[in-house]
Amino acid sequence: NYDHSQHHRFLANCPRGAQLRNMTQLTTKARTAAAVLLVLVLCVQLARASTGKSSDGSRQAADSDATKDSTPHSIELTPDNWEETTQGKSVLAKFFAPWCGHCQDLAPHWTRLHDAFMNGSSNPNGIIAQVNCVDHESWCSQDMQITAFPTVLYGDASQHGIFLRRYDGEKTFDALLEFAQEKLRHAACSPLNLQACADDDERQQMELYWSLSTAELERLILEEEKRIDDQDAQFKRQYQQMQEEYNKAARDHGLNTLKPHRDKQLLKEVMKVLREK
C-alpha cells in the first residue's frame, strides 16, 4: 500500500508535478468510471438474485417502539425492523458508534435534520434514520459493509439495503438537509425501480444488464475488476517513476549545494598552510 499523503506532498514539490497531476486525474477518472460500471452490474446481479428468493417474512417485524431511539428525534433501524420500516421509502441512514468522536459531533446535526425533514415534511417517500453499529456489529460490518464511523448511506433501502450508496458530502445540517430534500423527494433509482431513474444513461445501462444472462454479468464483473486493478497498477508505475526522478533531482541538487561549501573549506585550509609558512 502506498502512502497517499506522501503522494500529494510529492506532487506539490516535484518539478514535473503538473504532468503527474494530469496523469493522476486521467487515471482517477478511468478508475471511477470502471467502479461505477462495476457497481451497476453488481446491483443488477444482486437484484436478480434477490427477486428469485422467497419473501417468506423470515425477518420478524419489530415492535413499533423499537423503531425509535431513546429520544424522539431519530428512527432507529435494526436487522429486524429494516424491511418493514423502509418499505417503499428512500432512506438517508447514519451508521454510528456511540464512542466515536466524529459521530458525537454529527449527532446534533442529525437530530436537527430529522426534525426539519420528518416533522411536517412534504416528502412521504423519504425517512431519516440511524443504526447503532455497537448493538448490531456483525450486521453493520458484514451485511452493510460499514468500515468507518460515521458512515451515511442513502437511496433505495429494499432488499436489505443492497442498493444503498455512500454519501460523501459535508456532514453539516445545511448540507445534509439540502441533500435529503433533493434525494428523498422521490423514490430512489435502482434496478428494481427503473422508472425512478432520472438519468437516462444509468437507466439504459440497467435495462441492458437486466437483458444479460448471469454468466454474462459475471464476465462483466471480472472485466471491470480487472480494469480497476490495471488502473491501480498504472498509477503505481507512474508514481514510482516520478518518485525516482524526484529523488535523483533532489540528490543532484544536494551535491551541487555541497560543492561550494567544499571549495570554501579547501581554500581556508590552503590559506592556513600558507600563513604557517
Give the three cell numbers for residue 92: 438517508
At 165-222, the pLDDT tens digits run 899 999 999 999 999 988 887 776 766 666 666 667 767 777 777 777 878 878 887 8
Asked whether residue 124 is assigned to any structural domain, the reply reads yes
162-175 per-residue burial string, b: 16 or more CB within 10 A, e: under 16: bbbbebeeebebee
- Is 263 within a domain? no
Q: What is the pLDDT of residue 73?
A: 53
160 and 237 both lie in a single domain? no
Same domain for 77 and 30, yes or no, is: no
In the predicted structure, residue 145 carries a pLDDT above the cut 50 = yes
The answer to whether residues 231 and 193 belong to one domain is no
Q: Is residue 206 part of a domain?
A: no
Total of domains in the chain: 2
Query: Across-strand partners of 91?
Result: 127, 155
Please give the pLDDT value at position 194.
66
Q: Considering the domain boundaries, does residue 253 fall inside one?
A: no
Angle between helices 17-51 and 4-13 (to 10 degrees): 150
Q: Are residues 72 and 89 located together in one domain of the fold? A: yes
Residue 55: pLDDT above 90?
no
137 and 97 within one domain: yes
What per-residue confidence (pLDDT) applies to 252?
A: 72
Of 26 and 247, which is predicted with more confidence?
Answer: 247
pLDDT category, 135, cuts 50, 70, 90? very high
Residues 109 and 125 both lie in one domain: yes
Mean of pLDDT over the chain: 72
> Which carries the bigger pLDDT value, residue 272 or residue 169?
169
Per-residue pLDDT of 222-261, as tens digits, reads: 888 888 888 888 888 888 888 888 777 777 766 566 566 6
For residue 81, the domain's CATH number is 3.40.30.10
Establish whether the linkage from the previous residue to 150 is cis, with ω within 30° of 0.
Answer: yes
Same domain, 193 and 66: yes
More confident residue, 46 or 159: 159
Calculate mean pLDDT across residues 82-106: 91
Rounded average pLDDT over 143-158: 90
Same domain for 133 and 40? no
Residue 249 lies in a domain: no
How high is the pLDDT of residue 240?
A: 86
Closest CA to 154 of 146, 162, 164, 163: 164
Q: State the average pLDDT over residues 116-139.
A: 83
Domain of 166? 59-201
pLDDT value at residue 66: 35
Looking at residue 65, its pLDDT comes to 38
The answer to whether residues 88 and 171 belong to one domain is yes
Specify whether 98 is located in the same domain as 123: yes
